[in-house]
Chains A and B, each alone.
Chain A
């Protein structure tokens, strides 16, 4: 087990390194001169060359690359051009809201999606099954940004139950800080609930038709015991696999949702920094949010390995 974990961690490192290199070269795609681009059309040539020296843009590409990679390793990612503040500190500040949104949404999606899928499969062809299928199919197609806006319109503007936007840290607001997360989390998680419900339902139906379930039933085990102990346990493994895939959608969703609800997370940082041409922040933030995604995926893999005795710790899934 420990060897599996160590190996899994070791794959993250080269992957992050390669991504850092890709992002580095993406930044070179900026049309023309990055320094001129950052300063805008009114910049004088002196200002541009000064910035070039500051960003080491006057040096050969490989030196720049080494500096960027070295910066990542030591945590010194340079200073934000707009805020005059170390990029690393900005990233740390913005990471927590995004993590909170993603993890809350994932947990909520797993609870509701698994529950609904389970009920739907056990009561196949019943009215409740049909309702769940219709709802989950519609949920899958709901754009998170639209749902977010509709929630604001309904609960924020019309009913005035929840704040329309904003964010509070837990240490500042305590329990009431959660009020700010309700609508963003709902907007992010709805599509994922739909996907998970559908998958759990079909997986569960597969399992329920297997011979060992029939055997358990014919031995006289009560129905709910068969469902929970035999069928559900096997479905749970697919839930964990799916959670890893859902993370991609959730992290992308967080970027949009943070911008609607003015939540100071990574997504909002990236989008505002693009608008401000603060490219040092953009490249580091994209690297960190991708790293976050890899890390959460790693945690999912750990849970997976713990749950499924069949996972061989030696070989990695391809």
Chain B
């Protein structure tokens, strides 16, 4: 334990960083001063809750058809109107959020876990680095959507496959960032101090490197969540994402486009949902980034 406290006291001197705990407190203050980030956070929580509670709050079943109620414009009974089969657009969007946000959440969580581990290993152990990085190079040679498309083309459309495809596309990118952070941290004096005290690699990685590498990663995960929402919607829009009987924002948008001329709401509403979700993620990510940026604390810092 003694060694532990010593290491902690060396840390603040490194790169002019404030101690972790203090940084976190003032970090929250910075975040709270940013109303846009807070608003985005509230909106995302609201969307997530709506998706989670979909069966209870959606006014209709997502596939409930009513041929007498086709193409009803947004109004009191159908807040967002109905589609070509008389299905309630709002209910389909709430259930669609389940797919789109659920897939994105799963992809971000899984690739955060796998990618961060790979990155930490790759950055800390020289020997593993060469192999892991060559493999990520290879996967990153595909533009993200094309990589997802290639996997989906051969796996067939299902929600599980979308998660797998987007996971495979995201992991190397997370690994890259985690590795870069690890490489920088590995050379700092407090890590050297921990090493000289015979701390094992596991302890160094999880107690010293990971906590210091996590904030840029969290920013990236927020932005990745936005990117995954876009990618999931894109794949579903092309008809190779989630299967047509599972509503997703991309599918609602894709089905609505054929009736665009007389039912504008079928195009405007699902697109707006994607737009707002992506915008909120970006704003929240910016807010978190500002927290990690010491320049925001009011003291000028030279680079």
Contact = CB atoms under 8 A, between A and B. Distances in A.
Contacts of A26: 150-151, 153-154
Interface stretch (A44-52, A56-64, A288-296): A288-296
B237 A274 contact: no
Q: For the complex of A and B, list the 6 residue pairs with the smallest distance between their C-beta atoms, beginning with the closest.
A: A252-B145, A146-B271, A141-B279, A248-B143, A141-B278, A29-B154
A224 to B, nearest CB: 25
Interface string B92-127: 000000000000000000000000000000000000
Nearest to B141: A15
A149 B138 contact: no
B226 interface: yes
Interface string B279-301: 10011001000000000000000
Given A145-B253, A274-B240, A293 B146 contact: yes
A224 B88 CA distance: 57
A251 B264 contact: no
B155 A29 contact: yes
30 contacts: A15-B137, A19-B142, A23-B150, A26-B150, A26-B151, A26-B153, A29-B151, A137-B283, A141-B282, A143-B230, A143-B234, A143-B271, A143-B278, A145-B271, A146-B253, A146-B274, A149-B271, A248-B144, A251-B146, A252-B144, A252-B145, A253-B145, A255-B145, A256-B237, A260-B257, A270-B153, A271-B238, A286-B149, A290-B141, A293-B141
Interface of B: 133, 137-138, 141-146, 149-151, 153-156, 226, 230, 233-234, 237-240, 253, 257, 260-261, 264, 267-268, 270-272, 274-276, 278-279, 282-283, 286, 303
Nearest to A26: B154
Contact of B149 (A152, A270, A293): A270
Contacts of A252: 143-146, 234
Contact of A259 (B238, B261, B274, B303): B238
B138 A22 contact: yes
Contact of A256 (B156, B234, B261): B234
Contacts of B156: 31
A153 B264 CA distance: 8
A275 B234 CA distance: 16
Interface residues of A, number: 46
B110 to A, nearest CB: 19
Contacts of B278: 140-141, 143
A152 B267 CA distance: 11
B2 to A, nearest CB: 39
A142 interface: yes
A282 interface: yes
Contacts of A259: 238
A43 interface: no
Nearest to B161: A29
